[in-house]
Amino acid sequence: MISFPAFESLTRCHKMRLSRYFLPILRDTPKDAEIVSHRLMLRAGLVRQQSAGIYAWLPLGLRVLSKINAIIRQEQDRSGAIELLMPTMQSADLWRESGRYDAYGKEMLRIKDRHDRDMLFGPTNEEMVTDIFRSYVRSYKDLPLNLYHIQWKFRDEIRPRFGTMRSREFLMKDAYSFDVDEAGARHAYNRMFVAYLRTFARLGLTSIPMRAETGPIGGDLSHEFIILASTGESEVYCDKSVLDLAVPGPDTDFNNVEELQTIVSNWTKPYAATSEMHDEAAYASVPEDRKVAARGIEVGHIFYFGTKYSEPFGAKVTGPDGVDRPVHMGSYGIGPSRLVAALIEAFHDDQGIAWPVEIAPFHVGLINLKVGDEATDAACETVYRALEARNIDVLYDDTDARAGGKFATADLIGLPWQIIVGPKSLADGKVEVKRRADGERHVVTIEEAVLLVAG
RNA sequence: CGGGGUAUAGCGCAGUCUGGUAGCGCAUCUGGUUUGGGACCAGAGGGUCGUGGGUUCAAAUCCUACUGCCCCGACCA
């Protein structure tokens, strides 16, 4: 099977000249944007609003989204999930089978095709994936199975707001697990739990799993993954000790039931709940100096729902005893388009965005302070080619703008490293390297600069 | 869905009360002077004033209907 990271590395362009790029920077803040991530996404040319809660992803924003998706894919694949791609448009008949065509209400965007058939823009895919499953899978030997896709969803929110944080059209990674019994489903749940911890950590985020509403099934198998941010929509309460837990490493054995259960148990032991699930009595027993009451952004949600869909859909497998049983299912969602906004909430300062290295749209911004000058042009070309040779993503500012404007743009779009080439340092054969996150600068030779940013 | 706003050049706004044929800043283009943290001078281009209907000699401006967008509340990756 061709893995997506390999596919993406074939198509990704590693270098770009700003003079030839499409990067519409806004100097002024559009008045609609209330929260900092929304402002910066518009100003840095990541997205453009096309309608209420509907956004076009501009080239720089798409690069970030793609990098997030690549990390999500790697961790989903590592945990044993398998990617497919289901359509955005779905037939209403499928949703009538589960009873959700009526139950979903106005949040579902309903459409009629030319033959007057009832269609809808999918807000989620439980029905469709269950239909796919029941069409092909007959035996317990084919389980466990976890199918996921990354696809656009539409939920006709009453009031979309906060840019891509709460949009109507949004990208979602949704995974669906199928197991022969509840014990198997619990292990499937734990696999996703660990995959999520790893995914958010790789994105540079500290995520906290919190008990969430379980719906009709009950039990303890639903968690929201929350990152702390003052602009978050959720009120959260937790025991600070959860922040010190070690994230499971890449060598985690996802087939080892005990190992995963131990990890999940450790992570769910400290108190952590959103306001809906908050238990004052339990919170009161958390030592005073470890209490955290804050706001958070929900970036992931996992839950087990047993046979809620498999039963009405007749999604059964034949067990070793020859008896057919409906499969036990769970679903697991991450919102990449929301994550872009959440990441900016977590990584910005007064000058603009400061992307974590893993998901920065480019790794390096190469700034030519005197375009047209033979020496600076030549030095920049040398750096540009050296970075290209090492497959380091570079955005080369070869425009003839003034120094101040270039610095402002570079800080705004927030690439992790800036290599600044100007006559001043070049007089000594040096260039300047600036780390965006903390502003630390080094005046070094070109060779040293390339090594420095290469890490 | 209820409440409150708003709609004039790519962005931010003035002009509306008191009707007379559209302006400012930024951005863009041209020329010049500049050039290490968002320069300066001179010139230029760009607008069915959200849409439809109405009043009037005349509508961005008054009346009316509609629509888009934003904000505040209850639901959600």
ipTM value: 0.92
Protein-to-nucleotide distance from the CA of A296 to the C1' of B56, whole angstroms? 58
Q: How far apart are CA A310 and CA A137, in angstroms?
A: 12
Nearest nucleotide relative to A174: CA against C1':
B77
Distance (Å, whole) CA A118 – CA A128: 15
On whether the CB atoms of residues A414 and A436 are closer than 8 A, the answer is: yes
Q: How far apart are CA A307 and CA A146, in angstroms?
A: 15
Nearest to A96 by CA among A312, A325, A316, A308: A312
Q: Tell me the DSSP string of A437-449.
A: TT--EEEE-HHHH
Q: A128 vs A12, A110, A174, A189, A233, CA distance in Å?
A: 31, 16, 12, 20, 30
Query: DSSP characters for A198-236?
Result: HHHHHTT--EEEEE---GGG-SS-EEEEEEE-TT-SEEE
Contacts of residue A145, Cβ cutoff 8 Å, sequence gap at least 6? A82, A133, A137, A177, A178
Which nucleotides of strand B lie within 7 A of protein CB? 1-2, 11-13, 25-27, 34-39, 68-77
- Count of Cβ atoms closer than 10 Å to residue A99 Cβ: 10
Q: What pLDDT is stored for residue A215 in this prediction?
A: 65
Residues A62 and A12 sit within 8 Å (Cβ to Cβ): no
- Per-residue pLDDT tens digits of chain A, which is 455 residues long: 444 444 555 556 789 999 999 999 998 888 888 889 999 999 999 999 999 999 999 999 999 999 999 999 999 999 999 999 999 999 999 999 999 998 888 889 999 898 999 999 999 999 999 999 999 999 999 999 999 999 999 999 888 988 999 999 999 999 999 999 999 999 999 999 999 999 999 999 999 999 887 766 666 789 999 999 887 888 899 999 999 999 999 999 999 999 999 999 999 999 999 888 888 889 999 999 999 998 899 999 999 999 999 999 999 999 999 999 999 999 999 999 999 999 999 999 999 999 999 999 999 999 999 999 999 999 999 999 999 999 999 999 999 999 999 999 999 999 999 999 999 999 999 999 999 999 999 999 999 999 999 98
Instruction: Find the residue closest to B25 using CA and C1' atoms.
Output: A28
Tokens for A49, please give them: 């609003």
**SS3 of chain A: helix, strand, coil, percent, to 5:** 40, 30, 35
Give the pLDDT score at A1: 40
Nucleotide nearest to A33 (CA to C1'): B70
Q: How far is the CA of A88 from the C1' of B51 (A)?
A: 32
Find and give the residue nearest to B34, measured CA to C1'.
A402
Residue A359 backbone phi and psi in degrees, to 5: -120, 10
Task: Name the nearest CA neighbour of A61 among A362, A410, A419, A376.
Answer: A362
Please state the pTM of the whole predicted model.
Answer: 0.95
What mean pLDDT value characterizes chain A?
A: 93
Nucleotide in closest CA–C1' contact with A31? B12
Q: Tell me what pLDDT residue A195 has.
A: 98
Which residue reads 């000594």 in tokens?
A428
* Collapsed DSSP state (helix, strand, coil) of residue A171: strand
Q: Indicate the DSSP class of residue A161.
A: B
pLDDT, position A3? 47
CA of A52 to C1' of B1 (A): 16
Phi, psi (rounded to 5 degrees) for A406? -65, -40
Q: Considering just the CA atoms, what is the radius of gyration of chain A in Å? A: 24
User: Cα A84 from chain centroid?
Assistant: 18
